[in-house]
Amino acid sequence: NLKKFPKDFLWGASTSAYQVEGANHEDGKGDSCQDVKELPKGTAPLDVCADHYHHYREDIQLMAEMGFKTYRFSIAWTRILPNGIGDVNQKGIDHYNDVINTCLQYNIEPLVTMFHFDMPNALDEKGSWSNPESVDWFENYARVLFENFGDRVKYWLTINEQNMLTLVGPMIGTLRIPEGTKNVVKETYQQNHHMLVAQAKAMVLCHQMCPSAKIGPAPNISLVYPASCKPEDILAAQEFNAIRNWLYLDMAVYGRYNNLVWRYLEEHDATPSFAPGDKEALAEAHPDFIGFNYYNTATVKRAGLDVKKDEHADQQKGLSEPGYCEAVDNPNLVKTQFGWEIDPLGFRATMREIYSRYHLPMIVTENGLGAYDKLEDGKVHDDYRIAYLKAHIEQVKLAITDGVEMMGYCPWSALDLVSTHEGIRKRYGFIYVDTSDEEVGSLKRYRKDSFYWYKKVIASNGED
């Protein structure tokens, strides 16, 4: 007795500007923190990526062929405002106008992320999110976006994975901790506070300037499991759930800090300072829906102060919290080629939990399998990706049957692009892009097996 996907369910897929566009010095674009960061050895440079900047028409046409109802992409702040603030770059506006119009021409709703890991370098040099002015910088950028694109974009996402920026920002290359910082936790959570207020102001502004548009956050939400049924592990999992997940959604929806997080901040002498007006802005703002990225769950056991944070942890591998918990492998789950656990049932549990806490419509803004794909005779037989996505889509259906309001599903990624730290060899797309970490290839696009499979899924509205 499974319920059906709603008729207007937004099937699509996602990308982000700095990982897909390339052309990062073209048409007046300013540098972002990603353009100047030192890349891990052997990963593709970001000046080409999938060259979506020049291929977007062809790419959107392929998305239309798959039957996409939505395309989630991010706007590069530095194409619009090369220095983050100040002069607007008309060529950047023209570019995204054309991307948006091309989507609309194919009846694809643009789902636009305002900020996906790419702080303008000029603002990075002014301290990035550690500077209290960052709230105004972001609000100003949001205003320019709403002014220029608000007449056509119905769905906005504020900040991609703010929780990952806070937990592993230096690894992603986005959160900057000033040298000599004595209390790193305090500094980190002050920056996090600025992002939260910036997000709140952007939501308020969106509702004022574009009353028919909808806006929401896009954190990475994954349920945290206790490693055992020991009561202390249960408490540890609750605490890490609060630090990893609920802080961000409690703030976006209710405008207040989660009590367990506040206790953690107090213990680290790290409670953020509120500027005048912050409290009001946080209270006034409200999202229309919750966007969230899901790749897998996390599992923790209670641990003492001797536990170390893993400086090299990526977004999904173990994040331990000294004095609180240690990340452990879940022996019940298998892993991808890149060591990420695969947990479709955890996806349903996560959707249930988010909905029962916030009762807002939800859209999956990322979910997917990174793998080494092989192009042979113009084909990519990615049955492993089909299996992963199929298992997760089944869980969306089950969550809908549970009564969760699901608006859409946008796996990562529409086409192959550069991973946050593994190069282009870690591929996620439905569309194969002929290029590698070693050299720029023909950039020709190929339909993977998953392309044809997803097309059928969309055509049958998730019944096939």
Give me the helix-helix angle, 231-241 and 259-267, nearest 10°. Answer: 90
| Binding-site string for ligand BGP from residue 366 to residue 405, where x marks contact by CB under 6 A and - marks none | x---x-----------------------------------
* Choices 144-152, 156-164, 246-254, 446-454; region in contact with ligand BGP by CB under 6 A: 156-164
Residue nearest to ligand BGP (CB): 419
Q: Is 293 in the site for ligand BGP (CB under 6 A)?
A: yes
Residue range at the interface with ligand BGP (CB under 6 A); choices 239-247, 263-271, 396-404, 421-429: 421-429
Q: Which is nearer to ligand BGP, 113 or 258 (CB)?
A: 113
Under rule CB under 6 A, residue 164 binds ligand BGP: yes
* Binding of ligand BGP by 115 (CB under 6 A): no
Asked if 336 contacts 369 with a C-beta cutoff of 8 angstroms, the reply is yes
Cα distances from 379 to residues 259, 296, 336, 383, 447, in angstroms, run 52, 28, 21, 12, 7
- Find the binder of ligand BGP among 11, 16, 171, 455 (CB under 6 A): 16
Tokens of 49: 């990526």
Does the footprint of ligand BGP cover residue 74 (CB under 6 A)? no
Is 366 among the catalytic positions?
yes
Phi-psi region for residue 204, left (φ > 0), alpha (ψ -120 to 50) or beta?
Answer: alpha
Do you find a cis peptide bond into 128, omega within 30 degrees of 0? no
| Stretch of residues binding ligand BGP (CB under 6 A), selected from 31-39, 203-211, 275-283, 419-427 | 419-427
Pick from 163, 309, 139: nearest CA to 242 = 163
Minimum CB distance to ligand BGP, residue 160 (Å): 5
318 φ, ψ (degrees, to nearest 5): -40, 125
- Report if residue 79 touches ligand BGP, rule: CB under 6 A: no
Sequential DSSP letters for 152-208: T--EEEEEETHHHHHHHHHHHT-----TT-S-HHHHHHHHHHHHHHHHHHHHHHHHH
Detail the DSSP E strand segments found in 50-99: 70-74
Write out the DSSP string of 303-338.
--TTPPP-TT--SSS---BTTTEEE---TT--B-TT
Residues that bind ligand BGP (rule: CB under 6 A) add up to a total of 17
Judged by beta carbon, residue 166 or residue 420, the one nearer ligand BGP is 420
Choose the catalytic residue: 139, 366, 376, 394. 366
- The DSSP call for residue 247 is H
Q: Which is nearer to ligand BGP, 120 or 368 (CB)?
A: 368
Q: Which residues bind ligand BGP (CB under 6 A)?
A: 16, 19, 160-161, 164, 220, 293, 314-315, 366, 370, 412, 419-422, 426
Tell me which residues are annotated as active site.
366
